[in-house]
Structure 1
């Protein structure tokens, strides 16, 4: 039985992961930005991933109540995106602070615990956007690619201490992530919401694949076929991948021109 902490555990993939860990008999503490727990299934901590103080409190809680931690799931994040000349720098700052630096803070907070234990597993939620980079998603692609790079770096750095690192890269799946979109590029935001809401995959579908990957101690966990095929296309059929990406960009330009949106 493992001791598990999940950020962003109140909804979406985080909640699905919490439910699956609990169902398998693990000890789980769920964390999120809300002051109060969404339910009483598990212990709950308020944890804003932008707050070093909240991270310190989470470490203290795990040490006081569990004498350590086995699996840290850095899952909290927001959706964003937009054309490079439309999305504001404030939105870039927001997504970097949450989606990238939130993961960095979590890894920094718990690495001393894992080093002392000579064991542990860090699971960082990135995205297929960390592996393949569609147009009109500069900020999201950038931070998710950063999470992949961070995870690979730590997989080497922490290996001598017995620490495993995994990075999760799903494609779109149904969740409330679209509610977090606040950027200035409203046209691209609407497209992203539609892709999320109309996906045939649920958060629980993705969580099942993630849990399987964690059990196998896989570094790269790609839990759905569309994400896997996109990654393979980029790796092994680069000209096809580039044609697909440029078709997406061309269609976006045509829609913008037709609507008079030259942003």
Structure 2
């Protein structure tokens, strides 16, 4: 990325999963990396394993629901490096549940982290990028922000909000020399499923299986993200199969809606089958 000769990147949610894979990818390419995560012990352990000097890599405990912590982190990076070239708003969690079953607290939790955490990251780093007249914002959304499976309302809404925010910022910040990318992966091998909140006791195992059985791992997604930023791509879509579903939604919306109906019926039937088997097991 010749437009960023200083090669300085900041990553939220960088202690595990995609965030850690992104950190390693940028380090491999010669960048200096600042990692933030709420998981203090995990973050410190990963830094020690990588064994690089603080001039190349350092960790800070940051809660993305606290804008003051993000500002303090930004100021520390600027003090160390003189500026930042890329902010990757990656921190996130997972939720699942039907609209009348998932508690409102789950909605508030996922929106505060997955959407408002990104909003805060953009708010904190945009003034710096405007001052520099350069920078790139990378917001990690999901294919759930573009195509919306049933019983994923809170997660879908948060990620769709990230896509909408990113599109807004692309137009808003272009004249300042600030680039924007929004990353929309499907399921890939990561530990995001471990954060899942759901009223359905089977959901966590089901979602974790979807992550674990994917043919794409976090390293593969990280490489695609790096390439997308280098190419100045706005949409970064690592999974071709999900990309095709998105194209179906855009160009054949009626067929896409029918596919949602089919998916919804399948989910309902699985629920009924599970309830029936549970009732049989609990009979005296």
TM bin (shorter chain)? over 0.9
Q: d(CA) in 2 for partners of 1:187 and 1:240?
A: 29
The 5 Å alignment of 1:235-246 reads: 235-246=250-261
Please state if 1:91 is matched with 2:124: no
In the alignment, is the contact (CA less than 8 A) between 1:136 and 1:188 conserved in 2? no
Q: d(CA) in 1 for partners of 2:264 and 2:203?
A: 12
Please state if 1:200 is matched with 2:200: no
Q: d(CA) in 2 for partners of 1:149 and 1:44?
A: 30
Q: d(CA) in 1 for partners of 2:151 and 2:188?
A: 19
Aligned position for 2:19: 14
Q: Deviations over 1:211-251 (max 9, x none)?
A: 11000111111012122112112112223322222111101
Aligned position for 2:9: 4
Aligned position for 2:272: 257
Structure 1 unaligned blocks of 5 or more:
none
Q: d(CA) in 1 for partners of 2:194 and 2:114?
A: 15
> Which structure's CA Rg is the greater one?
2
Q: d(CA) in 1 for partners of 2:141 and 2:253?
A: 22
Aligned position for 2:45: 38
Q: CA deviation at 1:78?
A: 0.5
In the alignment, is the contact (CA less than 8 A) between 1:80 and 1:189 conserved in 2? no
**What is the root-mean-square deviation in Å for CA atoms of aligned residues?**
1.3
Q: Which TM-score applies when normalising by structure 1?
A: 0.95
Aligned position for 2:195: 180
Aligned position for 2:157: 142
Aligned residues: 261
Please state if 1:63 is matched with 2:68: no
Q: Which TM-score applies when normalising by structure 2?
A: 0.89
Aligned position for 2:31: 26
